[in-house]
Amino acid sequence: MIVNSTELQNNFGKYLMLAAQEDIIVTRNGTEIAKLTAVKDTLNKVQPEVVHEKAPEYSFDGKKSTYEEFLTLQQESDDRYEYIDGEIYLLASPRTAHQMAITELFGNFYIFFQGTNCTPMVAPYDIELRRTPESINIVQPDLMVICDLEENLNENDYYKGVPSLVVEVLSKSTRSKDLIKKLDLYMSTGVSEYWIVNPDNKEVTVYQFEDQNISNSATYKNNEAAQSFMFKGLNAKISRIFRV
């Protein structure tokens, strides 16, 4: 099948599914520029190549995408996406270790913040972060703590503030984005604390940000408990986070 780049952009979700059945040739100004194809997994099931979370595969026409293009894609697809520094990322379905870690952490956070003005929330929940007024980023942290919810809800019930604390659980496909892109984004947009949960080596690293820089960091493993810098007394046992 041959489609032009505009058609692909406007109906990305549809062609993502069609790519499981046949190759999609993408053209621009009548010239073939790319091919959307499929790969087979170990069970010989066909899955679209673009499910891998790498930025170049989600940039339209080999360039960074506009915020408007991201909104169009988000509205026309049932998939989950993030938009960071002008590039679109497809969020893959989480694995069991990921969900176990988030469930444990959310339980700890929920109990700790009861009776306070801070509320723990889990994905999917869009967070809008801006490096500058014109630079819009949309992310879905795995877990976040919001302490200014009521004053930052707009008329459509969407939160427009900045979480105080965010948590991301690493996977092979998201490692570089979470360790580099998101760390820099959170640090530069007003997030105060960032927890990186690594199921592979069963470690949790906690960063505290001040004045758009890292002011403190610590890594916890084995029989230790991860500790918050910002919220004294907030902790989570490593052995409980990584039960599988």
Q: Do 63 and 162 reside in the same domain of the chain?
A: no
Q: What is the pTM of this model?
A: 0.74
Where residue 114 sits, what CATH number does that domain have? Answer: 3.90.1570.10
Q: What average pLDDT does the segment 28-37 reach?
A: 77
234 and 117 in a single domain? The answer is yes
Residue 99, CA atoms < 13 Å, CB-side half-sphere: 6
The pLDDT score that the predictor gives to residue 14 is 54
**Are 73 and 102 found together in one domain?**
no
Same domain, 141 and 176: yes
Give the whole-angstrom CA distance, residue 212 versus residue 152.
Answer: 22
**Same domain membership, residue 106 and residue 81:** no
- Give the separation between CA 66 and CA 137, rounded to whole angstroms: 11
Q: Are residues 70 and 110 in the same domain?
A: no
**Are residue 86 and residue 104 in the same domain, yes or no?**
no
Tokens of 17: 């599914």
Q: What is the C-alpha separation between 151 and 196, in angstroms, rounded?
A: 28
Q: Where would I find the beta strands (DSSP E) of the chain?
A: 2-4, 24-28, 31-36, 38-40, 46-48, 81-84, 87-90, 119-122, 127-130, 136-139, 143-146, 165-169, 193-198, 203-210, 213-221, 225-227, 235-237
Share of the chain above pLDDT 70, in %: 83
Q: For residue 49, what pLDDT band results from cuts at 50, 70 and 90?
A: very low
Domain count of the chain? 2
For 174-222, the pLDDT digits (tens) are 888 899 999 999 999 999 999 999 999 999 999 999 999 999 999 999 9
The last residue of one of the domains, among 63, 90, 117, is 90
Q: Mind listing the pLDDT tens digit for each residue in 75-89?
A: 998 899 999 999 999
pLDDT digits (tens, 9 = 90+) for 141-183: 999 999 999 999 999 999 999 999 999 999 887 888 899 999 9
| Tokens matching residue 90 | 């497809």
Q: How many CB atoms lie within 10 A of CB 27?
A: 16
Tell me the residue range of the domain where 37 lies: 2-90
Say if residue 162 is in the same domain as residue 86: no
- The residue among 90, 105, 135 that closes a domain is 90
User: Does one domain contain both 106 and 80?
Assistant: no
In this structure, are residues 97 and 244 in contact, taking their beta carbons and an 8 Å threshold? yes
Residues 165 and 225 in one domain: yes
118 and 132 belong to one structural domain:
yes
- How many angstroms separate the CA atoms of 85 and 182, rounded? 10
DSSP code for 153: B
219 and 142 part of one domain: yes
Cβ neighbors of 193 (< 8 A, separation 6 or more) are 164, 165, 166, 206, 207, 208, 209, 228, 229, 230, 231
From residue 27, alpha-carbon distances to 2, 54, 61, 62, 177 in Å are 7, 21, 9, 12, 29
Last residue of a domain, one of 90, 123, 141: 90
Task: Give exposure, 3-23, as e/b (b: 16+ Cβ within 10 Å).
Answer: bebeebbebbeebbebbeeee
Task: Tell me if 139 sits within 8 A of 80, measured CB to CB.
Answer: no
How many angstroms separate the CA atoms of 92 and 145, rounded?
23
